[in-house]
Amino acid sequence: MAETTEPGSYFVANYPPFDRWNENAVEQVFNAFDAVATDAALGLYLHIPFCRKRCKFCYFRVYTDVKAADVERYSDAVIHEARLVAAQKAVQGRVLKYVYFGGGTPSFLSVKQLQRLVGGLHESFGWNEAEEVTFECEPGTLAEPKIMALKQLGVTRISLGVENFNDSILESNGRAHLSNEIFRAWDWIEKADFPSTNIDLIAGMVGETTESWQETVETALKLAPDSLTIYQMELPYNTVFVKSSKDNGEAAAVADWPTKRAWVDWAFDRFVKAGYSISSAYTLVRNSKNVEFRYRDMLWEGSDLVALGVASFGHLSGIHYQNKTHWDDYLAAIDAEQLPLVRGLVAEPRELLIRELVLGLKKGSVDTVRLRTKFGIDPLIEWSEIWSELCEKGFLKPIENSNSPTLTRQGLLQVDSLLHQFFDK
């Protein structure tokens, strides 16, 4: 891996990689929906693709400059899709264990739009028994009535996309909000008293310095969220930064990987000193007994995930799938009373084992007994050479008699660069 931040995706979100997913598997995804349900936990992901503006580092399917009619049209489609999905044999009657509103910017919607959307979804998928309902927010889209409405709608975990507290850095990276909007929104969030609050930061944004980063970390610490999520800046190919670099021949001024790792390491130390504990390569929690990541943990351990909305990703009975990735195609499928599937991948048992292994390692350690029991393969034996090599390089603590290989801080800070060693060639 290059030390400089080159164009391309660094973060490992799934396995097998997305470039292996294809339209030939769509028929098998349909068959999975029409088959008997598994005993896996079931979650729901809803993609809200609207934003006030597109961040220069964003690679998700988002739309800006939309009208109220576009939001209504999309909400109607998602509600309709929920009805179609809930009627499938593999989903019918199952209880949701977690719900995640992602984007885009879910908080882009007005209170009335949110109430209408959630009300429509509840006709197909109730989540009164869900262990966690997460909702992503952009600070500038919030007002106190909207935050109170989210609480009333059943949101248990609210995640605020801060990224940085420095206005110059926020503007340079194309964020829609400024710092005053963060502090105003946080006051309202605290008053609402959600069961769990989270702040997102990004280390290494364009214009970041060691001094500015430490100021951002200290400011986040003063807000005392229940959890803090820190990502290291990457440059996927379809971002504004990469496209601009191709046009002008100049690389985006993003910090190199050693610098970003050092900044996250400093943040980890600072929050741990303040009483937080490290929950994964990206997250710290203030009270590990009260703060859980049910979406993350269940999904990474093989739960089924129903995906609603344009370009959203799901997982059912060991099969990965994605919805149609363009607005018109997605809406046309829903209008035709069809599940809006565009591609998928039928994973082999070994591939599902690798998926749970590498995603589990992102939490810092992995329970190989659970994996051996579930898949019939002992990861300690199957990848013994890799474990040894990771130990020799200082990325993994000595395993000795442990059944849970545990990364060192050094390994945790660059875990996404280590995971490819476990991929099948």
Closest CA to 82 of 127, 113, 41, 50: 127
CB 114 within 8 A of CB 108: no
Other C-beta atoms lying within 10 Å of the C-beta of residue 70: 14
Each residue of 146-193: pLDDT tens digit? 999 999 999 999 999 999 999 999 999 999 999 999 999 999 999 999
* Residue 32 and residue 90 in contact, taking contact as beta carbons nearer than 8 Å: yes
Q: Give per-residue pLDDT as tens, 99-158.
A: 999 999 999 999 999 999 999 999 999 889 999 999 999 999 999 999 999 999 999 999
Q: Distance (Å, rounded) from C-alpha 299 to C-alpha 181?
A: 32
Secondary structure (3-state) at 255 = coil
CA distances from 117 to 10, 48, 66, 388, 396 (A): 34, 11, 17, 51, 46
Please write down the HEC assignment for all residues of 189-233.
Answer: HHHHCCCEEEEEEEECCCCCCHHHHHHHHHHHHHHCCCEEEEEEC
Q: Which residue has the higher pLDDT, 344 or 288?
A: 344
- Domains by residue range for the chain, with CATH: 18-299 (3.20.20.70), 349-425 (1.10.10.920)
Q: Where does the pLDDT of residue 1 fall: very low under 50, low under 70, confident under 90, or very high at 90 and above? A: low
> What is the per-residue pLDDT for 9?
82
- Backbone φ, ψ for residue 417 (5° rounding): -80, -15
Q: What is the mean pLDDT of residues 318-344?
A: 98
Token pair 């109170």 in the structure block, residue: 148
**201-229 pLDDT, tens per residue?**
999 999 999 999 999 999 999 999 999 99
